[in-house]
Chain A
Amino acid sequence: MDRLHTALLIAVMSAVTAALRFAPFAVFGEGRRTPAYIEYLGRMLPYAVMGMLVVFCLKNVSFIAAPHGLPEFISVAVVALLHAWRHNTLLSILAGTVCYMLLVQLVF
């Protein structure tokens, strides 16, 4: 492939990504008061988005084909239960990841 075209593609992808990140700040910038509706969305979105991100991470898991999403389901449960119990982020992530690695490498 043409290297110049590749460089331009990278520039375009960088610019669009940055534009998406900067857009809310450009619209509701310094000095202006954030409208109440946006403030409300800003307060509620973190809760909704984190759910969306978990689904996003698991989007390619197939429940029809073996192993039917079992490694993911078990490991997510381990993380969630351990975290609800101990509230130690590093411990929860470490245990969940080790659990997942063992399941995909040795069991399924």
Chain B
Amino acid sequence: MRGVGMAESKNTKKIGLKAFRATLPVMAGYIVLGIGFGVLLQTKGYGVLWAAAMSLFIYAGSMQYVAIDLITGGVSLLTAAVVTFVVNARHLFYGISVVDRYRGAGRKKPYMIFALTDETYSLICGDDGFESERERHSYDFLVSLFDHIYWLCGGVMGSLLGKVLPFDAEGIDFALTALFVTVFVDQWTSTNKHAPAVCGVTASVVCLLIFGSENFLIPSMVLIVAALTLMRGKAGVSDG
């Protein structure tokens, strides 16, 4: 498996660049959302160390905004655990879909799992044509690491700078929505079996209308798994 040293280091550089380029949209989104988080936390009386610790250890965008409310409200540990479970349950899906992809990643693996956010997942869930499993694992690891660094930098910057932004950044967080839309379009054009994608959108919209924006994620997940299970083996979405 091991190539010649020179070729390998050249390859590592190539993969690093590829990972960096892929994470640029996340950089824009995470730094801005991270700044928003840091600023908000600062206004509640929690300084840069708190912002850094939360971005480093919780490392989940929307959850950290919710966390600010939980912290300032001084809720119980059990409440915090339940809310975190509800808001972040979708991460179970990411693990399930990369269990095989991350197999054999060795020492990098625990960190790659720890840092598997929505955005990192959206960047690694496609197969980008790597020559070896080792290369793909390096790429996945670097994407995870770069995204984590952007998020941490955003949180720290927001906490330190406060509300001084050089320009009006309202709406820049749309970059993350746009990222998910591009991945959705890529997936859509890569297959002629659109049932799973349609199922994901339909189930989420239906649950959003029924359960409201705060509570629709878990019902959506249940509905998606149920629908995919029913589709299994049927024409259109065959197993093979």
B135 at the interface (CB under 8 A from A): no
CB of A104 within 8 A of CB of B170, answer yes
Taking chain A's interface residues, is the majority helix, strand, or loop, or is none over half, making it mixed?
Answer: helix
CB of B97 within 8 A of CB of A17, answer no
> Separation in Å of the B177 CB from the closest CB of chain A?
4
CB of A45 within 8 A of CB of B25, answer no
CB contacts under 8 Å to A, within B65-112, are 67, 70-72, 74-75, 77, 80-81, 84-85, 88-100, 102-104, 109
A interface bracket (residues with beta carbon within 8 Å of B):
35 or more
A67 at the interface (CB under 8 A from B): no
CB contacts under 8 Å to B, within A11-28, are 11-14, 16-18, 20-25, 28
Taking chain B's interface residues, is the majority helix, strand, or loop, or is none over half, making it mixed?
Answer: helix
CB of A101 within 8 A of CB of B174, answer yes
Interface centre among A10, A50, A90 (most CB of B within 10 A): A50
A-B contact count (CB 8 A): 248
B130 at the interface (CB under 8 A from A): no
With contacts A1-B74, A54-B184, A80-B185 known, is A97 near B228, CB below 8 A? no
Interface centre among A83, A92, A97, A101 (most CB of B within 10 A): A97
